[in-house]
């Protein structure tokens, strides 16, 4: 009788505990996926920073979704599409009389919103040849595409 009671308790525990472990395993896998996503996104941002510092705007823009649906907000202006965003960067930083400076991203906070989306906040700082240091904050939304992570929305503000 004691054997049957002990067996029943063990069997009940088996059916109660094992299913509750399954979500824990999934959470661990999700954490690994999120960690991988965060690492890939940070690598993309460092690649953008390096491209900017080589004065390679096209290389910098490779981190953005090449789509007319890309959105870029700066100040009180919205630019829709990859080409409009590139044109804005060219006008502000690569046209005659303008300098690109040396770009640094700092304070990156990458928050995974799922396996294929992320929210990133950070600080940007340019060091210009004349010693000026324009700087500000940015918020990015990333999506994972077959070709990798890309920025689908960029909201950048400048300190005044």
Q: Could you state, in order of their start, the residue ranges of all structural domains in the chain?
A: 38-158
Element (H, E) at 91: none
Beta-bridged to residue 126, according to DSSP, are 103
pLDDT surpasses 80 at 17? no
pLDDT at 95: 81
* 75 Ramachandran zone, left/alpha/beta (phi>0; psi -120 to 50): left
pTM, two decimal places:
0.78
Tokens of 113: 């919103």
More confident site: 10 or 97:
97
Q: For 64, which DSSP code? A: B
Fold of 38-158: Nuclear Transport Factor 2; Chain: A, (3.10.450)
Over 70: is that where the pLDDT of 43 sits?
A: yes
Mean of per-residue pLDDT scores for the chain: 84
117 in Cβ contact with 134 (< 8 Å): no
> Is-contact 83 69, C-beta < 8 A?
no
């Amino acid at each position: 009788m004691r054997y049957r009671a002990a067996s029943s308790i063990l069997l009940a525990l088996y059916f109660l505990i094992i299913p509750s472990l399954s979500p824990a395993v999934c959470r661990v896998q999700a954490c690994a996926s999120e960690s991988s996503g965060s690492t890939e996104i940070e690598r993309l941002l460092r690649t953008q920073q390096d491209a900017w510092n080589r004065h390679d705007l096209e290389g910098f823009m490779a981190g953005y979704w090449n789509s007319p649906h890309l959105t870029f907000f700066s100040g009180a202006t919205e630019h829709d599409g990859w080409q409009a965003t590139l044109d804005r960067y060219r006008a502000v930083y690569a046209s005659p009389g303008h300098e690109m400076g040396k770009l640094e991203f700092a304070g990156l906070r990458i928050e995974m919103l799922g396996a294929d989306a992320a929210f990133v906040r950070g600080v940007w700082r340019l060091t210009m040849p004349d010693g000026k240091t324009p700087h500000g904050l940015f918020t990015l939304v990333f999506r994972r595409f077959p070709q990798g992570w890309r920025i689908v929305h960029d909201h950048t503000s400048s300190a005044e």
